[in-house]
Amino acid sequence: MAAQLSLGNRQITRILRSSSGRFEQISGIVPDVNSAAHRQAVLIGPNDLRVRTQTGGTPGAGELLITPDAVGVCGTDLELLAGTMGYLTDGGATYPIVPGHEWTGVVDSVGPGVNGFAIGDRVVGECSIGCGVCGVCAAGRYHLCPDRTETGILNRAGGMASTLVFPARAAHRLPPSVDPLDAALIEPLAVAYRGLHRLPAAPIGPIAIVGAGTIGLLCALAARAIGMGPVLLVEHHAARRRFSAGLGFDAVATVPHRFSQVIDATGTPSGTAAAVQGTADGGTIVVLGLCGRPSVPVDLDSLVLRDLAMVGSLGSPGVWPEVIDLVATGRVLPSTIVSHEFALDEATDAFTRARDADPATRKVVVRPQRSAASRQAASLQAATDPERPGTASW
């Protein structure tokens, strides 16, 4: 059920989807971030995550000041925490890092020269942000720009904070009816959607998705929404197979036969090996998961002798309007995979929950504008409200 949150001192009205699926108009508050301390989760170094307070930023030319209210914890965030993420090991990124590339929030103020955004707009933002002027960006491959930043990963602060200064050219407005939990997962949904489109355009047929974590499930949901498939999820954890079945997908522990189209969404050596083994001669494997290791054994002879194509997929360039439409029209509701929510002050607990690899933990989300006390109260309400499916922590 929708609830009013007292977060600051500016009143706005918004439409939110309740747990029953109805749309309700409620009053909300946008905090006056210019008069409040700015809090952010910060990765100081490997296995060192802290929440600290400092002066908030103001938007410059072409920028928005945003109040994030839902931020997903991703496998890439866990690699940043561990110090194994490729950008750290090759020197491209350095600590400290404010994580949070899967985020949504509300516009608090608009910098000079910005058009198309207003205070109170719900927005999401892309992860890869190119320079916008080089030949790579001009070709639409801004996710490969040599001077790019990546939100919450590479030389740009992420959304796991009470405020976020963000370039308007990389932000997208959402209809007010989109729930914050759905909005926060538009970024990983866009990654999944783009991965699906790295598969050959023809023939369209069955797709095996190895791994039923966040990206694997979002691939399956997106594929079904756009008419690809049928989809088979391959997952060795029984709890994840049961959850996948509850979403209406067939899920098995091992690949039953070879598929011409396979997505590896595991980020593990064993998952990659299963994907290669499960691909039919002449087929294509799209690799979406980062493993955080310097190398992973791959049977290169099998790739050559069976004429396999193995394709990486980085980010989500050029697909955001299509993905936003999938969510805004209700064809994909990413929030269905959220299992835990935490306050910003509980960021360490959120990362621990995500890292512990409990099969019952699907997607962990941090809510920067909520307190631990309100989280505990909401958990109590969820436990006593039979209409509210709720998440384990909120």
Report pLDDT digits (tens) over 299-339.
Answer: 899 999 999 999 999 999 999 999 999 999 999 999 999 99
Instruction: Name all domains of the chain by residue range, CATH numbers in brackets.
Output: 10-184+333-384 (3.90.180.10), 203-312 (3.40.50.720)
Higher pLDDT, 17 or 64: 64
Taking alpha carbons only, the member of 233, 282, 280, 229 closest to residue 257 is 280
Q: How confident is the model at residue 20 (pLDDT cuts 50, 70, 90)?
A: very low
Instruction: Give the model's confidence band at 375: pLDDT under 50 very low, under 70 low, under 90 confident, else very high.
Output: low
Q: Is the pLDDT of residue 29 over 80?
A: no
More confident residue, 9 or 133: 133
Band (377; pLDDT cuts 50, 70, 90) = low
Place of tokens 């690949």: 255
Nearest to 339 by CA among 376, 394, 392, 387: 392
**Tokens 């087929």 appear where?**
283
Residues 317 and 341: beta-carbon distance below 8 Å: no
Q: By the 8 A CB rule, do 210 and 261 touch?
A: no
Give percent of the chain with pLDDT exceeding 70.
Answer: 85
Cα(127)–Cα(323) distance, rounded to whole angstroms? 14
Q: Which helix (H) or strand (E) holds 193?
A: helix 186-196
Q: What backbone phi and psi angles, to 5 degrees, belong to 367?
A: -110, 95
Of the listed ranges 54-58, 68-72, 130-134, 330-334, the least confidently predicted one is 54-58
pLDDT at 19 over 60: no
| Cα first-last separation, the chain | 12
pLDDT band at 12 (very low <50, low <70, confident <90, very high): very low
Quote the pLDDT of residue 358. Answer: 85
Closest CA relative to residue 215, chosen from 363, 364, 365: 363
pLDDT at 36: 53
**pLDDT of 23 over the 60 cut:** no
pLDDT of residue 359: 83
What is the arithmetic mean of pLDDT over 344-366?
93
Burial grade of 179 (CB within 10 A; 0-12, 13-18, 19 or more)? buried
Residue bearing the bigger pLDDT, 243 or 36: 243
Residue with tokens 């910060």: 42
Determine contact, residues 210/255, Cβ cutoff 8 Å. Answer: yes
* pTM score, whole prediction: 0.86
Burial class (CB in 10 A: 0-12, 13-18, 19+), 155: middle
- 21 band by pLDDT with thresholds 50, 70 and 90: very low
Long-range contacts for 89-93 (Cβ within 8 Å, ≥24 apart)? 89/294, 92/154, 93/153, 93/154, 93/155
User: In this model, does residue 372 exceed pLDDT 90?
Assistant: no
Residue type, 231: V
pLDDT > 60? residue 380: no
Euclidean distance between CA atoms 161 and 66, whole angstroms: 10
pLDDT tens per residue, range 145-202: 999 999 999 999 999 999 999 999 999 999 999 999 999 999 999 999 999 999 997 6
> Considering only 197-206, 222-231, 346-355, which range has the smallest mean pLDDT?
197-206
Report how far residue 27's alpha carbon sits from residue 298's, in angstroms, rounded to the nearest whole number. 54
Q: Enumerate the β-bridge partners of residue 49.
A: 43
Mean pLDDT of the residues in the chain: 87
φ, ψ of residue 114 in degrees (nearest 5): -95, 130
Per-residue pLDDT, 178: 97
pLDDT value at 1 more than 80: no
- 317 vs 383, more confident: 317
